[in-house]
Structure 1
């Protein structure tokens, strides 16, 4: 839907939540000043960390850890992060708001490579601007499963993709982007530990917060599945908005049970079902039965299931994704070392 137009993607995102759009119009957020962490002198690598989510930590911080402390690097983040980055870092607040044209600190003048998950969030957008100013190579790490509603890749980016099929999908016919297939760090880590099934009662992973499918369709799919199979509904951590909370109350009044265990998905030990959650592949990677379920899926969702090898409820479970021989984060680190000329 948005092969190159980031502005159109942002506008589409805003329109998916009218209440949030209204609140932001009435009470605009004050642009925050990002923080810069520096290791060594004259960093050659800048990492743009927009959030400390598991996917961003796996995609950006793990490769940084594997690069080793001898590689001078810098990390741009929304705030000062304690205990997140490997090794010792010096933190300073950047003069200017991220995504609003902050002046580039002189310490970054020798940066030759920038690593990010994209340019659709403030820190990534600022890092992309600096990358172009410095004529630095912008590397983008795929950190989630790709739908047609994904933000476009930055101009001239080099994508570290899960698969060749994902790289082709993300490029959408563009000739200005390149890619290296490395696999998914999150799924690689999931496959490192075998899962144990302690109950046959499935759990439906909620995605009410997502904008890719109509809320009513997601509610019908999840509610219908839980009623028909006796599955428990596991709300996504982002399902805190008013409409999601109302839906939860309605389901509870209908007798649908909720998984409130608080256990990480890796420790749940139960079959997993969802419309298109990454959790389906995480469970499959650990050897836990996992399926997808969404009645009368749109064409893009059927193609999504096929691209990732996700199988629908009622048949064989989703097979474990192919695990690359080299840890994806290590493959990224190796590529960066070669690009920076730091490998013997």
Structure 2
């Protein structure tokens, strides 16, 4: 917790770059508003200000120190922290904000009842809301893409003809491995691209696949931040394709036998297929997304700037 009797609770289920950018960066724009963060482990070192860390004995009831919370911010209620925070928001009558943290597929979990969606775009808002009347939506943009665009000048020397890197998605349940795996293998062998495993590709089957690819001559990218690669990016439906485009890095999508939902996904985000012109940088909002999110939260708790 930061301060006494927090008015805002941030629920964090993961410390991935997308989750940190969407859920926690608004903290920097809340001034001295008392806030709390619910996370699976201590993240105080990543946050501005002085924090008190307290373990929770139970998540079934609202903790005593959070009974003045009037707004909750999370990436959704489909994992433990977001789910507990939604239960508490319902019990407290607090606003429950869901911040979009990545690109949306049809397999995304539904929005929580009576939530307020803060979306990347109007098309995403309509897609995820799915005509529900209990959910309201506001377009704020993506903090991840906003931050990537700040790095655009660094990548002016990246050429579309440079050797690309393929962003792996073997971990994803959205596509069978016969599609995600064969797409990655063929693309890397045909173009000389290096394969960049997703951080979640640590299961036995993925490791076996990696080993087989190495024997067949597929090179692997070194671990590190995506934008530090500074070379063209290709994937099937990774958020990294649009992140690279925002940063001025040539990026494309490709897929063998893509299902219709993949084609709809490409269309919704205006992603370019390999062999065509690179994906255009996304249009950014006038206000930094983290600041816009903070403004929505402040309005909900009655704060003034």
State the TM-score bracket (shorter-chain normalisation): over 0.9
The whole-number CA distance in structure 2 between the counterparts of 1:43 and 1:186 is 26
> 1:127 aligns to what?
85
The answer to whether the 8 A contact 2:129-2:137 is kept is no
The ranges of structure 1 where at least 4 consecutive aligned residues each deviate by more than 3 angstroms after the TM superposition are none
Question: Is residue 2:109 matched to residue 1:143?
Answer: no
1:276-329, CA deviations, whole angstroms, 9 ceiling, x for partnerless residues? Answer: 111111111111110000022111000000000101001111000011121100
The whole-number CA distance in structure 2 between the counterparts of 1:242 and 1:263 is 22
> 1:59 aligns to what?
22
Residue correspondence of structure 1 range 131-210 to structure 2 within 5 A: 131-194=89-152, 195=155, 196-197=157-158, 200-210=162-172
Gaps of 5+ in 2: none
Question: Is residue 2:51 matched to residue 1:89?
Answer: yes
> 2:209 aligns to what?
247
> 2:62 aligns to what?
104
- Alpha-carbon RMSD across the aligned residues, in angstroms, is 1.3
The answer to whether the 8 A contact 2:140-2:292 is kept is yes
Q: CA deviation at 1:95?
A: 1.9
The two structures have a TM-score, normalised by structure 1, of 0.85
Q: CA deviation at 1:240?
A: 1.1
Q: Which residue, out of 57, 67, 75, partners 1:117? A: 75
SS at 2:96's partner residue? Answer: strand
Q: CA deviation at 1:265?
A: 1.4
Gaps of 5+ in 1: 1-37
1:239-266, CA deviations, whole angstroms, 9 ceiling, x for partnerless residues? Answer: 111111111111111112111x223211
The two structures have a TM-score, normalised by structure 2, of 0.95
The whole-number CA distance in structure 1 between the counterparts of 2:26 and 2:278 is 32
The whole-number CA distance in structure 2 between the counterparts of 1:163 and 1:316 is 23
1:165-189, CA deviations, whole angstroms, 9 ceiling, x for partnerless residues? Answer: 1011101121110011000100010
Q: CA deviation at 1:201?
A: 0.5
> 2:11 aligns to what?
48
The whole-number CA distance in structure 2 between the counterparts of 1:60 and 1:131 is 16
> 1:225 aligns to what?
187
